[in-house]
């Protein structure tokens, strides 16, 4: 039907030139711990930054651009920053700055996600919790209004630091064996270096946090999906 036949000229013009708007995904990062946490986020498209969450209930709201991929949110602990935002964290430090412009250092519990990609026929967002770079703080990654199936919360509620194996212990956290033994393929496999399976070390992580990646190729039980447009909440110490 001709637009002008049913709408005034200017209204018709607006319909023709208006861009197509998409829902902006909102991610609330909440500190539920009884101690300060410095939240961090980063992705290759420039999404990211950092925020001090000193008190239980403090929240940092993020709106990553549509199509954001290879993104991560993580907690930092034991941090001190000056008025210019320069300093250091015992875990998760990202180059000694409050506003992260790169990935953090191990050990760090990661909330990873990719929003629906423009060139991908898959209509879903995907997300996971990864312990492949170690553990420092329990966390959950939750859709605000889950719709069933794999659109459900991913949880890592156990504190894995107190019983961390001696070889993996680190200040304020527990290293993944891939960090401690980076040249051993059984702990630190990649597509180029070969495949690997569970080990006693990775099983420690998996037993404590069954939803989380415990070694690099632990995909089968550790990736979750929700329809594009879902909002999320990342909670430290859920």
Q: Where are the domains of the chain?
A: 23-236
34-90 pLDDT, tens digit each: 999 999 999 999 999 999 999 999 999 999 999 999 999 999 999 999 999 999 999
Mean of pLDDT values over 122-135? 93
Q: Evaluate if residue 19 carries a pLDDT over 50.
A: no
CATH fold label, 23-236: Thaumatin (2.60.110)
Mean of pLDDT values over 154-164? 97
Q: Residue 62: what pLDDT?
A: 98
Model confidence band, residue 216 (pLDDT cutoffs 50, 70, 90): confident
| 198, HSE (Cβ side, Cα atoms, 13 Å) | 12
Mean of pLDDT values over 129-155? 92
Q: Residue 89: what pLDDT?
A: 98
Q: Residue 110: what pLDDT?
A: 98
**Neighbour tally for 127: CB within 10 Å:** 27
User: Which candidate, 131, 129, 126, 102, places its Cα nearest to that of 113?
Assistant: 126
Helices (H), ranges, the chain? 3-6, 9-17, 177-180, 200-208
Q: Residue 217: what pLDDT?
A: 84
Cβ-proximal residues to 119 (8 Å cutoff; 6+ apart), any chain: none
Q: What angle do CA 150, 22, 101 make, to 5 degrees?
A: 80
Find the length of the chain.
238
Q: Residue 22: what pLDDT?
A: 53
Model confidence band, residue 191 (pLDDT cutoffs 50, 70, 90): confident
Query: 191 or 25: whose pLDDT is higher?
Result: 25
Phi, psi for residue 11 in degrees, rounded to 5: -65, -40
| Locus of tokens 């602990």 | 77
Q: How far apart are CA 88 and CA 90, in angstroms?
A: 7
Q: Evaluate if residue 7 carries a pLDDT over 90.
A: no
Q: What angle do CA 81, 87, 88 make, to 5 degrees?
A: 115
Report field, pTM of the whole predicted structure over 0.85: yes
Q: Residue 88: what pLDDT?
A: 98
> To the nearest whole number, what is the mean pLDDT of the chain?
89
Q: How far apart are CA 74 and CA 139, in angstroms?
A: 9
Q: Evaluate if residue 23 carries a pLDDT over 70.
A: no
């Amino acid at each position: 039907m001709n637009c002008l036949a049913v709408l005034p000229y200017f209204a018709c013009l607006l319909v023709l030139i208006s861009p197509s708007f998409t829902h902006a995904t909102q991610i609330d990062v909440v500190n539920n711990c009884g101690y300060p946490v410095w939240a961090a986020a980063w992705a290759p498209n420039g999404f990211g930054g950092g925020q001090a969450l000193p008190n239980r209930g403090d929240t940092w709201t993020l709106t990553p651009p549509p199509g954001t991929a290879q993104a991560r949110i993580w907690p930092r602990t034991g941090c001190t920053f000056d008025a210019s935002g320069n300093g250091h964290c015992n875990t998760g430090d990202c180059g000694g700055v409050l506003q992260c412009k790169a990935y953090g250092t191990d050990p760090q519990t990661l909330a990873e996600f990719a929003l629906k990609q423009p060139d991908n026929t898959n209509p879903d967002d995907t997300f996971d919790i990864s312990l492949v770079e170690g553990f420092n703080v329990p966390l959950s990654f939750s859709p605000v209004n889950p719709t069933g199936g794999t659109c459900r919360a991913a949880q890592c509620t156990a504190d894995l630091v107190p019983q961390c194996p001696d070889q993996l212990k680190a200040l304020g956290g527990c290293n993944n064996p891939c960090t401690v033994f980076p040249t051993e393929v059984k702990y630190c496999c990649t597509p180029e270096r070969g495949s690997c399976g569970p080990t006693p070390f990775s099983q420690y992580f998996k037993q404590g946090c069954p939803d989380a990646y415990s070694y690099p190729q632990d995909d089968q039980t550790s990736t979750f999906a929700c329809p594009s447009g879902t909002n999320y909440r990342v909670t430290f110490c859920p």
